[in-house]
Structure 1
Amino acid sequence: MLQVKDLSISYGAIQAVRHVDFEVKKGEIVTLIGANGAGKSTILKTISGIVKPQSGSIEYQNESLVGKKAPQIVAAGVSQVPEGRHVFPAMTVMENLQLGSYLQKDRSQIEARLQEIYQMFPILKERQHQDAATLSGGEQQMLVMARAMMAHPDLLLLDEPSMGLAPIYIQKVFDIIQKINAQGTTILLIEQNAHQALSIADRGYVIASGEIQLTGSGEKLLNDPQVKRAYLGESA
């Protein structure tokens, strides 16, 4: 579904990503793990059309995404949930969700999708008329995920969905990720919580200093001595 080949990305003189190769197959949950500053978020922003690559290729459904604008990429079936729970304040939960379907013109289809989202995220239906800025951190994370799902993505990019959340919401978020995947959406996940990410991932890639260092199934990486020491806080 998604193939990234020889991808390099620079911010001025700083080389953020170096010759990265990875793929995401239809129906998978694939995770990129690594320390802060490893280049993970930069890769997602480049896939989404927010950052331009220095070199390399990004192909989605056998079509190049390089050079496409973000709305074109969303229209192709790729949605991103950014790091930091960027809800639109002074707007209700429902209004935030409706913004997620801005490319859809048929009001009846928007309403039908909204009801589907409410079934997936019942707390958002309870809060639909509430100012999004007044939600708890966990509820805001559910809202930004739900807003991205309003676009009917085939591929969902998730950037640090559990960051800053209370433990009870961390588990809820990972449960929702698995539920979204089970309903047919392919997921590329960036996550500081390496143990949780690898526990639900079909495959993972470990990134350090902008380069892929290790790859394997989620289970394999969970049991890799190097991963245990560096990212799981465990001894080999």
Structure 2
Amino acid sequence: MAMLKVSDLSVNYGVIQAVKGVNFEINEGEIVTLIGANGAGKSTIVKTISGLLKPKEGQIIYQGKDIVHQKAPQIVLDGISQVPEGRHIFSGLTVMENLQMGAFLQKNSSEAAKSYQEVFDRFPILAKRKNQDAATLSGGEQQMLAIGRALMAKPKLLLLDEPSMGLSPLFIQQIFTIIKELNEKGTTILLIEQNAKQALSIANRGYVLATGQVQLTGSGHELLANPEVQKVYFGG
């Protein structure tokens, strides 16, 4: 049974249908990527899984339970965390305070302390800057903080929405290395990316979205080799 199964998902923004009958699934331990141009519906899907948007139609089955009507905090408690597009770190709060926001549902203080240490071990730069205003971090450091904040909730499924957006090539490589390492340590990942080549190179499977619908699906390697994908996304 899939960890997450999205069936016939349709989502509207007012009268505009942003997602039109989308189907996909993620098995435990996988990296699955959704790729597509701006406006394809990728971020809308992530927000709907997270409980921030409600669909017009369809099901989102997570670990055997439909979560369409669950509130966002319960979805986090159930094991789904989101790293939003644009990072959305809290400016005016320190790095440590941003991480505390990610841990607000943790009731066990010793477990929370362990989570802080795990984040600092993974991102040593955050440990050095833990008392610094998060707004003063570089773009790459802010993305590390956004990922660290999501990890504080101990997710089983991590939703990453455009993690490479606006980053330098060096930081992009670091972020994709971090994604692979998180997956190798047991976190299942849904990766939303415009950087299709990078995303497909680390994904077990991918779905290509256009105008709110799935147009193509296959393994990461299959989609990398697909002439249509190469033409649209790689200029080949």
- Among residues 84, 102, 105, which one is paired with 2:104 in the alignment? 102
Partner of 1:171: 173
Q: Could you tell me how far apart the structure 1 residues matched to 2:51 and 2:109 are? A: 27
Equivalent residue letter for 1:80: Q
Q: Could you tell me how far apart the structure 2 residues matched to 1:28 and 1:94 are? A: 30
How big is each residue's C-alpha offset from its partner over 1:148-187, in whole Å with a ceiling of 9 and x where there is no partner? 0000000000000000001100000000001111110000
Partner of 1:79: 81
The question of 1:180 aligning with 2:182 is answered yes
Query: 1:98 deviation in Å?
Result: 1.3
Q: Could you tell me how far apart the structure 2 residues matched to 1:232 and 1:194 are? A: 8
How big is each residue's C-alpha offset from its partner over 1:172-230, in whole Å with a ceiling of 9 and x where there is no partner? 00000011111100000000100000000000000001000000000000000000001
Structure 1: any 5+ residue segments left out of the alignment?
none
Partner of 1:22: 24
Q: Could you tell me how far apart the structure 2 residues matched to 1:106 and 1:209 are? A: 44
Equivalent residue letter for 2:167: L
How big is each residue's C-alpha offset from its partner over 1:99-138, in whole Å with a ceiling of 9 and x where there is no partner? 1010012222111110011111111111111110000000
How big is each residue's C-alpha offset from its partner over 1:1-41, in whole Å with a ceiling of 9 and x where there is no partner? 00000111111211111111000000000000000000000
Structure 2: any 5+ residue segments left out of the alignment?
none
Q: Could you tell me how far apart the structure 1 residues matched to 2:24 and 2:47 are? A: 15
Partner of 1:137: 139
Partner of 2:232: 230
**TM value normalised by structure 1:** 0.98
Equivalent residue letter for 1:63: K
Q: Could you tell me how far apart the structure 2 residues matched to 1:91 and 1:157 are? A: 23
**Runs of 4 or more off by more than 2 Å in structure 1?**
none
**TM value normalised by structure 2:** 0.98
Aligned positions, number: 234
Q: Could you tell me how far apart the structure 2 residues matched to 1:85 and 1:21 are? A: 26
- Among residues 48, 51, 62, which one is paired with 1:49 in the alignment? 51
Partner of 2:9: 7
- With 101-110 and 156-165 compared, the bigger mean Cα shift is at 101-110
3-state SS in 2 of match to 1:163 = coil
Q: Could you tell me how far apart the structure 2 residues matched to 1:113 and 1:138 are? A: 21
Q: Could you tell me how far apart the structure 1 residues matched to 2:32 and 2:110 are? A: 33
Q: CA RMSD in A?
A: 0.6
3-state SS in 2 of match to 1:99 = helix
Sequence identity percentage: 65
Q: Could you tell me how far apart the structure 1 residues matched to 2:234 and 2:67 are? A: 34
The question of 1:121 aligning with 2:103 is answered no
